[in-house]
Structure 1
Amino acid sequence: MSADDIVIDVRGLSKRFGGKLAVDNLDLQVARGRIHGFLGPNGSGKTTTIRMLCGLLTPDAGSGSCLGFDIGRQAPSIKRQVGYMTQRFGLYDDLSIAENLDFIGRMYAIAGRRARVEATLVELGLASRRAQLAGSLSGGWKQRLALAACLLHRPRLLLLDEPTAGVDPKARRQFWDQLHALAGQGMTVLVSTHYMDEAQRCHGLAYIANGKLLAQGSPAQLVAQAALSTCEISGAPQADLLRIGAALRQCPGIRTVATFGAALHVSAASAARLDAALAPYRQQGVPIATVATTLEDVFIALMDGDGGERP
C-alpha cells in the first residue's frame, strides 16, 4: 500500500487532561475508501482521539498525518477537508433544514453555495423537508441532516462519533447504506460505535480501552486473533442458567459468560479449559452446543480483560 493510499497515519498519539491519561501511545492507520470502526467502552479515549485527528485538540505526544497534513502543525488545513459529526446534534433547532445547511455553507465560504445546498438536499433525501425546523425532526432525520452538513463542503474524510446513538434500526441501516455508498466513491470513514451489527459492516476495526489500542484488524481477523472457544448452554430453566453462569464466571480460563435470551454464551481461552469448566454440567445432562465465537464475545472478553468501563 502506497503512502497516497493512507489517509490517517499516527504513531504514539497521547493526550493528558490534568492527571488523567486519556489516550496512551496510540498507533492508527486507515486506508482511503475504507470504513474503519472505532470501538471501546465509554471513557476509553475514542472521542479524544477523533478530536486530535481533526485538529480540534493538540496531542501531548506522538506524531503523524491526517489527509497528508501534519496533525500538530497543519490543523487548519485538516479541518477544511474533514467532516466531523459529533455525538450530539449540533445544528440550530430554530432554523429549517435548508437554513442550517446554508449557514454551514457560509461558514466554509463555499463557492456556488445555494446550488451546493440544493444538491445536498436532494442527495440526502431532505428536499421534501427543506422548510421543516430542525428542532421538530425525529432522531433519524436529525442524523440525516447532520450527515448532510458534514458532506456539504465535500470533505475527503468523515469522522463520526457514535452517529447512530438513539436512532431506530431502520434509520441506522439506511445511514450505513449511505456510508458504504460514500466509501464506494472514495470517501474514508472513521466511525465510533457500540453496536456490533455496525462493527460487522466495517472494513476494519480498532478496539481501545483506557486510552490504549488493544486490538486492530478486520472483524474476521479480530475473532481469529482472540482464539476463543465458545459454547452455548440452553434448554434449562432461567434460574438454573443464572446459577450456572455465576459458577462459570469463577472458573479459571473462562473469559466471558453472557446471557442471550434463554441461553448462555460461554467463551474460554482454550477448548480444554472450556471443556473442563463445562464437564460437570454435561454430566448433569444440561444441553450444551459448540457455537462460533461472535464479535460481541470478543469485545466482552476485551472489556473484561481491561477492567471494563471507566467511571
Structure 2
Amino acid sequence: MEDEIVLRACRISRSFEGITAVQDLSIEVRKGELFGIVGPDGAGKTTTIRILSGILTPSSGEAFVGPFSVLKEPERIKEIIGYMPQRFGLYEDLSVLENMEFYAELYGVPRQTKKERVESLLEFAGLSAFKRRLARDLSGGMKQKLGLACCLIHRPKVLLLDEPTCGVDPLSRAELWRRLADLLKEGVTILVSTPYIDEAERCTRVGLMHKGRFLLVEEPEKMKAIIDLPVLEVVCEDGRRVVQEVGWMEGIWEATVYGDRVHLTLASSELREVVASRLDRAGIRPNAMRFVRPSLEDVFISLARS
C-alpha cells in the first residue's frame, strides 16, 4: 500500500534539565519513502531519531514503528529497524569482516545465511577489498559505509540514520547517498537527519526543523514554491558588504550570504534597479545580478526568522 505509514510520532516532547529539545512534534513516514529531517545543530534532530528508535523515552507523546509502540514493544521494534547514530559503535581493534560478523551474531542472523549476507553487504558497501583492514585504519567515509552495512545485517524494513554524512568528504557523501537510493529501490523506508540543506533535495519529503519543531513538512520542490516573492541573486566577492549596503533597505525582506552569492528577497522585482543603483554608489561592482528560484535554504531562513 503506497500510503502505508510505517513510522509515526504523535506529539512527542523531550526536555533535558529544563531545556526543551523536542516540543510537541508529530511525524508520519510512509512506506518506501526517504524522509529527511533538516536543521542546524541543536534543532532536535538527534533527540527525535533516538526517540523513534526506542533509545530515548519522550517526556510526553507516543511513537510507533508499523503497528508497534516504541514505548511498550521495544523488542519488536528492534526486529524492524536499523539505527545508525552519529558515531556508530564500530570495534576499532576488529577488522571490517569481524565487525560485520559481530553484528550478525548480535542480531541473531542464522548461521547458514550469515556468510552470504555478510559478503553481500560488503559488496554493497564497496568494502570487499578492505575486509581484512582494522576499523581504526579506515577513513571517515569508509567507517560510515561499514556502519551502514552493519545496520543492514538483519534486513531491517526501516532505517534510521542520524547525520550519516557529517565529517566525511564530498565524494563519500555522494557515494553514501547513492547507497541509500539503492536501498529505496529494494523497498527500505529511510529516515535520515542532516544539517546540510542541499541533501534535502535527495529526499522524498523533508521536515525543516528549528528549536525542536517542524517549520514545514513538504516535498522539496513544493517547498520552494512557498516563497512567492522575487529573489535577486547578487554575485560578488564581498557578499557581507552587499548586505551592509542594501540589506536594511525598505522592500528587502531577507538578505542572506552564500559564499560569493547574496540572495535578496524583494517585495517587488522593480527594486532590482534600486539595489543596482545603491551598490553602484557604494563602489560595489557585482559580477552578476539575476533573479533566481528560491533555494531550500532561502525557505528555511525565511521560515525561521518569521
Considering the TM-score relative to the shorter chain, is it more than 0.5? yes
Offset at residue 36 of structure 1 (A): 0.7
Corresponding position of 2:254: 256
How many residues in Structure 1 have an aligned counterpart in Structure 2? 297
Are residue 122 (structure 1) and residue 123 (structure 2) matched?
Answer: yes
Per-residue Cα deviation, 1:117-174 (whole angstroms, up to 9, x for no partner): 2232223222221110000001111111011001001101111111011212221111
Secondary structure in 2 matching 1:80:
helix
Corresponding position of 2:135: 134
Matched AA of 2:6? V
Corresponding position of 1:308: none
**Does the CA-based 8 Å contact 1:55-1:76 persist in structure 2?**
no
**Does the CA-based 8 Å contact 1:26-1:213 persist in structure 2?**
yes
* Distance in 1 of aligned mates of 2:273 and 2:10: 46
Per-residue Cα deviation, 1:233-270 (whole angstroms, up to 9, x for no partner): 23x6x45x5333124333456443233444321124xx
Offset at residue 110 of structure 1 (A): 1.3
- % identity of equivalent residues: 39
* Distance in 2 of aligned mates of 1:92 and 1:254: 53
Matched AA of 2:100? L
Offset at residue 35 of structure 1 (A): 0.7
Corresponding position of 1:109: 108
Secondary structure in 2 matching 1:225:
coil
Are residue 280 (structure 1) and residue 274 (structure 2) matched?
Answer: yes
Corresponding position of 1:190: 191
Matched AA of 2:158? L
Q: Which runs of 5+ in 2 are unaligned?
A: none
Offset at residue 303 of structure 1 (A): 3.8
* Distance in 1 of aligned mates of 2:74 and 2:24: 20
1:17-36 aligned at under 5 Å gives the runs: 17-36=16-35
Corresponding position of 1:53: 52
Offset at residue 275 of structure 1 (A): 4.4
Per-residue Cα deviation, 1:41-99 (whole angstroms, up to 9, x for no partner): 11111111101101111122122421221122112211222111111242011100011
Secondary structure in 1 matching 2:226:
helix
Matched AA of 1:283? S
* Distance in 2 of aligned mates of 1:66 and 1:187: 13
* Distance in 2 of aligned mates of 1:124 and 1:279: 52
**Does the CA-based 8 Å contact 1:121-1:127 persist in structure 2?**
yes
* Distance in 2 of aligned mates of 1:300 and 1:293: 11
Corresponding position of 2:292: 291
Are residue 223 (structure 1) and residue 217 (structure 2) matched?
Answer: no
* Distance in 2 of aligned mates of 1:35 and 1:95: 32
* Distance in 1 of aligned mates of 2:245 and 2:265: 14
**Does the CA-based 8 Å contact 1:231-1:266 persist in structure 2?**
yes
* Distance in 1 of aligned mates of 2:57 and 2:157: 21
Offset at residue 215 of structure 1 (A): 0.5
Find the partner of 1:246 among 240, 244, 247.
244
* Distance in 1 of aligned mates of 2:2 and 2:163: 30
Structure 1 range deviating more: 252-261 or 219-228: 252-261
Per-residue Cα deviation, 1:8-51 (whole angstroms, up to 9, x for no partner): 12221111112111111111111111111101111111111101
Structure 1 range deviating more: 284-293 or 53-62: 284-293
**Does the CA-based 8 Å contact 1:231-1:288 persist in structure 2?**
yes
1:59-78 aligned at under 5 Å gives the runs: 59-78=58-77
* Distance in 2 of aligned mates of 1:146 and 1:95: 13
* Distance in 2 of aligned mates of 1:228 and 1:75: 47
Structure-2-length-normalised TM-score: 0.89
Are residue 178 (structure 1) and residue 179 (structure 2) matched?
Answer: yes
* TM-align CA RMSD: 2.2
Q: Cα distance 1:13–1:252, how it changes in 2: closer, same or farther (>3 A)? A: farther
* Distance in 1 of aligned mates of 2:276 and 2:34: 43
Q: Cα distance 1:109–1:214, how it changes in 2: closer, same or farther (>3 A)? A: same
**Does the CA-based 8 Å contact 2:80-2:158 persist in structure 1?**
yes
Q: Which runs of 5+ in 1 are unaligned?
A: 306-311
**Does the CA-based 8 Å contact 1:41-1:303 persist in structure 2?**
no
Matched AA of 2:210? A
**Does the CA-based 8 Å contact 2:39-2:197 persist in structure 1?**
no
* Distance in 2 of aligned mates of 1:227 and 1:192: 27
Structure 1 residue runs of 4 or more that deviate by more than 4 Å after TM superposition: 284-287
